[in-house]
Structure 1
């Protein structure tokens, strides 16, 4: 919601006031860019704080809308409601991620809180159980009240939750002694219920990775994991209808009804449950239809598909008519009361000044000219990108406009700003004289930074759960022992489970499950048994820890000495990027990855400092490390410095030579290669020209480290796969690091390479 302030400014305009005066009902806005749809909805939501339902054409458009509107409103208030994304009558269920998004959106609407639910036309039409079906399923758990512990576990199983040893994703629960962890569908983090007997002593949300408590609450409501949870009587109704048929599919469905997750239940539940649509779950919502023309075309396509599939399947298996799965008339019901957002013009009285931004296709000077012209006319310019590396690049490119250095806030008082947001396209907002330009319009390329990555953490508790009596374990404070058992004991008047670890001379250590992160499985050489440590002062573990600590301190002192010397050195401070650098980078034929741009900006920032650069760029083969080196080399050459590219093999030298030659073809840069592919006469000539400064970029193997190789004005050394060089060569490279900027590229981040960086 970095651009939340823009919606406040826009809410005061005559354009928006006309919408507000209509009660956000039965209103049409025409001739606006589709990129403005989220901005209009966000302004309405931020101003009126009313439940809002947005209807889009398909899954892709829905996700794009969700990403765009997050730039203007709090992300915690935005919920997608996708279609099932499976064909009807195929008797398969949607993915767990779609199930979660759907049921979360439904329960958010039922809560009555002001939220934005973004749906597709299909998810709007598709039949779902009526809201009373959902309301009666919620179970409230309050702190300090009593609940049958085993009944809660049974209820979770009946509600479709999967019992696991550790919860790390939606729809799971685990039981550890008197603790129940649940990952609810409507929560960002799992919740932990701590029971003493049948009394709920505490309720708190926690981080599933670190297990650290985040927030204590007084009450929670447990909802079913799935959208459709059948009671025994409802199962019986469906079963009777299916038994009438005699197909194999029907027989399989009858047998699967005894389970909670029935394949194809979304195609069968209308047999036993009254149906409704998404709209009925909201309380007096504001409804926005994005591009009604496209929505009607999509509606016709969906109806046609459902009817065709029904006619094809009904002869061989039991199928409900399409009219029972689709509420086609719901669109006609909401259309008269909805706000229609259309890019086309049919009535000039309803045209708002919200236009798209043309693409500059990497012509940076044109962008500068347009921004300067707009600012002179009193406009505000907001440049948006989805990741920090690109933001820093844009800051350097448009530094003349003095943008703010923080990218997570927007200052409406400044005429030029750079922000990080998920916007896909820009908007020209004429009524408040503001232009939002994305990096897509500036460079002509779409840069999308992944919002979430899979993270790997150590999981001590998983290791514990895999233990068997007799396994060796390591306690961080007491060393190696033998796992014996798990015993339930009373400590401080509270019963807890304890891990029992046996040490030398039969001594035993009891570790509470609350401190299980201090214990790990012992990992050693196969077939070799470790020495068991003793508890107390006799333990050799303490002496080992002291020696390790001493070694760490020595390494730290060495590193401190090296870096203090490096800080004291004064290297060449490269100037900021010039126009040729911008032009050179814009000619890159591929779309840079966000991490690639971040690496490029980090390298160029280091080069512009007074201390010599020593940076390691690590990435897999084919992920663009060479382009990082090419741009650093271009920057050095433009500053009048020479560049040395050092590679371990002749073949790699030839590959780099071809790549550099192609990229620098349009510029007066001299590039040569020094390797065994050259004759002795050619090598002699190259060395003489290198010494005279006639060669800008030299690419070679370890031959570049020979004593008779001299540079006139060396500025940067690029080392590719340093770990493949010998010890003597590495000592030479260490000396280079004290003299010039060094950029190391590696696809194998072994400790030695990281240590030298």
Structure 2
């Protein structure tokens, strides 16, 4: 819908002509996600390569996310700039180096037709094969060996570990090679038999169970290095993205991304960093970044479009209007939509999630009526900003994060969904006490490789009383945990007694513990049996205020946060007594769920008590609750040692008389 409207507008514009190689033009009137829309349209209309150069890395991520929403995922790639300047003694972030390698590979192999980067990402040089070929393709039935695979993975920047936990890890165990390549949600397991690939499978990190069988798999490098190509028998040269682009490429520069003083300053900083390093063997600066004069020479031969910058030879105004400044004013939102529909425009509201979509539909129906709401297209999708497209198919595009004045975060899909079994003992060092489920407490005595038949198995050595040794194979590490003492973590815990291998003490302790757990379980069952036949209070379904308050949250709900809130809300609206624990790390949005639940309760005439473990947290929560509920007739107060006796007495009196809500 969005691209079709924009394309129909462009077809009516006789004054719009895109530059040929060597020409430059300026374009204005592209607010919000307009630059991404232009990039997608230019590729679709001309078939040429398009490179969108954003002002900052954050802008580049937003532009790439825009392109995904606009339906270009198959041909669009993101080429991030390196996270540090050359010569800084910092290991490159594996996801950034992997993305760079994947973008260059996709460009050279004809898969990437639209690229998003920054001015630095455009000119940073990487080793590139001059004879073609990136990464390796493993196929079922082909000949290869463990040593050969390990050597190839090493040269591609993968790290040999004791267990695959995250992107860029690999491990060799017997005839199995596990590797976590870039672009995959799950690691890959390669099974070898007599130097032949027997099977290829994706597997789950937590359960270690196979999830998908494959006939072949391509493993891209996590970093580009000269050694990568030398090991594969291919020559390489250092090239920047700018040097690799075809001659018919359209370069779109946003704002000051093509600013020559900025390029010159970057070059000075890099040369100064090399000089400060004092290492004559360090790579020359021109091997790491394309010099400014070379950048200018390359740009002079390409077609350049300056977006919202007067640097071109001619200026074209495309006339998109910016997103109206609604900022949580639902009445203004309805007015804007009504005006657009009355003049014959279509209206589209993009929501960041299905939960936001449901809330938006409810708010529209409440505020505008079902008849008007039915004429508005509401869809899940994320754009960095909305706009109005004029022309024969006019379209008003609104975004929920702009409607509710909420910052938009690009959601990065985490590739690691769990922790491998080995993670639980990653911090154990020789001499530490550990607990084996079947044999009790012993001391960790290091790792040892043990020959079992024709295979070598890595084991964990545990020393028990009287010097007895237990060797636990790597595939049974789920039975092992690190021992932690009970009590104040700031004091030195008394070391535990080491058990005797095969003795009765550990079995007796386990037996007593199991009996205590059974007794506790019986008490809990009795308690929950009484609760299950007791009546609770069923709160009302969401009001318009509730939906507005939730939508005004400054950030996009995470999937887990959204799921937790729906569960809490379902519990509250049920007449069954509520019994739920919401768990989450610091900063993951638990307080927001508490605020929504408290507000929901207050609207049904209930008072809410929020208990906090410290006085400081009481004051922090007071401020947060009061700020979030400032637009509603809700009174929030605090009771703690930071309040004077008179304030405490007044608060208790107001609480008893119902003048305090939370």
Structure 2 length normalisation: TM-score?
0.71
SS in 1 for 2:102: helix
Q: 1:178 to 1:620 in 2, by over 3 A?
A: closer
**Partner SS state of residue 192, structure 2:** strand
Quote the offset at 1:696 in angstroms.
3.1
Matched, 1:565 2:533: yes
Counterparts of 1:273 and 1:389 in 2: how far apart (Å)? 49
Q: Determine the structure 2 residue equivalent to 1:340.
A: 305
Is 2:285 the partner of 1:287?
no
Tell which has more relative contact order, 1 or 2 (C-alpha 8 A, sep 6+): 2
State the match for 2:491 in structure 1: none
Deviations 1:482-524 (A, max 9, x none): 999865556xxx9685979999xxxxx99987x6476435858
Cα distance in 1, alignment partners of residues 647 and 104 from structure 2: 77
Distance 1:222 1:487, change over 3 A: same
Is the contact between residue 52 and residue 285 of structure 1 (CA under 8 Å) also seen in structure 2? no
- The correspondence for 1:303, drawn from 261, 264, 271, is 264
Asked whether the equivalents of residues 143 and 201 of structure 1 are also in contact (C-alpha less than 8 Å), the reply is: yes
In structure 1, the residue matched to 2:467 is none
From the superposition, tell whether residues 618 and 485 of structure 1 become closer, same or farther in structure 2 (CA, over 3 Å).
closer
- Change over 3 Å in CA distance of 1:679–1:210 after alignment to 2: same
Verify the 8 A CA contact 1:107 1:186 in the aligned structure 2.
Answer: no
SS at match of 1:360: coil
Distance 1:456 1:547, change over 3 A: farther
Kept in 2: contact 1:670–1:697 (CA 8 A): yes
Which residue does 2:8 correspond to in 1? Answer: 13
2:81 pairs, out of 63, 80, 83, with: 83
Q: Does 1:278 align with 2:241?
A: yes
1:297-446 correspondence to structure 2 within 5 Å: 297=259, 299-307=260-268, 310=271, 318=280, 320=284, 325-326=289-290, 328-330=293-295, 333=298, 337-338=302-303, 340=305, 342-343=307-308, 350-386=316-352, 390-391=356-357, 393-400=359-366, 415-431=375-391, 432-446=393-407
Summarize deviations over 1:175-202 as a string: whole Å, max 9, x none: 1111122334565543322112322212
In structure 2, the residue matched to 1:197 is: 194
Is contact 2:20-2:248 (8 Å) kept?
A: no
> Are the aligned partners of 1:192 and 1:204 in contact in 2 as well (CA < 8 Å)?
yes
Matched, 1:149 2:146: yes
1:160-559 mapped onto 2 (5 Å cutoff): 160-185=157-182, 187=184, 189-221=186-218, 224-230=221-227, 274-279=237-242, 281=244, 286-291=249-254, 294-297=256-259, 299-307=260-268, 310=271, 318=280, 320=284, 325-326=289-290, 328-330=293-295, 333=298, 337-338=302-303, 340=305, 342-343=307-308, 350-386=316-352, 390-391=356-357, 393-400=359-366, 415-431=375-391, 432-448=393-409, 451-452=412-413, 457=418, 459-461=420-422, 489=452, 497=457, 516=476, 519-521=479-481, 527-529=496-498
Q: How far is the alpha carbon of 1:145 from its aligned partner?
A: 2.5
Q: Structure 1 residues 356 and 610 mapped into 2: Cα distance closer, same or farther (>3 Å)?
A: farther
Cα distance in 2 between the residues matched to 1:282 and 1:398:
47
Distance apart, 1:161 and its partner CA: 3.2
Aligned residue in 2 for 1:65? 63
Report deviation, 1:130: 4.8
- In the TM superposition, residue 528 of structure 1 has moved relative to its aligned partner by 3.7
Q: Distance in 2 between matches of 1:384 and 1:192?
A: 39
1:125 corresponds to 2:123:
yes
The 1:552–1:428 alpha-carbon spacing in structure 2 relative to 1, beyond 3 Å, is farther
Q: Counterpart in 2 of 1:695? A: 658
Measured at CA, do residues 275 and 450 of structure 1 come closer, stay the same or move farther in structure 2, by a change above 3 Å? closer
Q: Give the distance between the partners of 2:591 and 2:134, measured in 1 at CA.
A: 57
Q: Does the 8 A contact of 1:108 with 1:186 survive in 2? A: no
Assess, with a 3 A threshold, how the Cα gap between structure 1 residues 623 and 86 changes in structure 2: closer, same or farther.
closer
The structure-2 alpha-carbon separation of the partners of 1:454 and 1:158, relative to structure 1 and needing over 3 Å to count, comes to closer
Q: Please list the CA deviations of residues 218-274 of structure 1 after superposition, one character each: whole Å capped at 9, or x if unmatched.
A: 34455554322249999xxxxxxxxxxxxxxxxxxxxxxxxxxxxxxxxxxxxx964
CA distance in 1, matches of 2:197, 2:237: 36
1:88 & 1:486 partners in 2: Cα distance? 40
**Alpha-carbon deviations, 1:647-675, whole Å to 9, x = none?**
58996899599757888888766778889
Q: State the Cα deviation string for residues 470-491 of structure 1 (Å, max 9, x = none).
A: 998757xx8879999865556x
Q: TM-score, normalised by structure 1?
A: 0.64
Is this contact kept in 2: 1:68–1:423, CA < 8 A? yes
User: Does the Cα contact within 8 Å between 1:606 and 1:613 map onto a contact in 2?
Assistant: yes
Q: How does 1:603-682 map to 2 (within 5 A)?
A: 641-645=605-609, 647=611, 655=619
The equivalent residue for 1:111 is 109
For residues 129 and 681 of structure 1, what CA distance do their matches in structure 2 show?
69
Question: Could you say which residue in structure 2 is the equivalent of 1:576?
Answer: 543
Q: Distance in 1 between matches of 2:69 and 2:229?
A: 46
CA drift of 1:313 comes to 6.4
Structure 1, unaligned stretches of length 5 or more?
A: 235-271, 405-412, 504-508, 699-717, 719-757
Q: CA RMSD in A?
A: 5.7
- Going by fraction, where is helix more abundant, 1 or 2? 1
Residue 623 of structure 1 and its aligned partner are, at CA, apart by: 8.3
Tell me the secondary structure at the aligned position of residue 37 of structure 1.
helix
CA distance in 2, matches of 1:569, 1:531: 52
Tell me the equivalent position of 1:730.
none
Q: Is the 8 A contact 2:7 2:41 kept in 1?
A: no
Change (3 A) 1:25 1:393: farther
Partner Cα separation in structure 2 for residue 681 and residue 93 of structure 1: 55
The DSSP-based 3-state class of the residue aligned with 2:110 is: coil
Unaligned runs of 5+ in 2: 465-469, 486-494
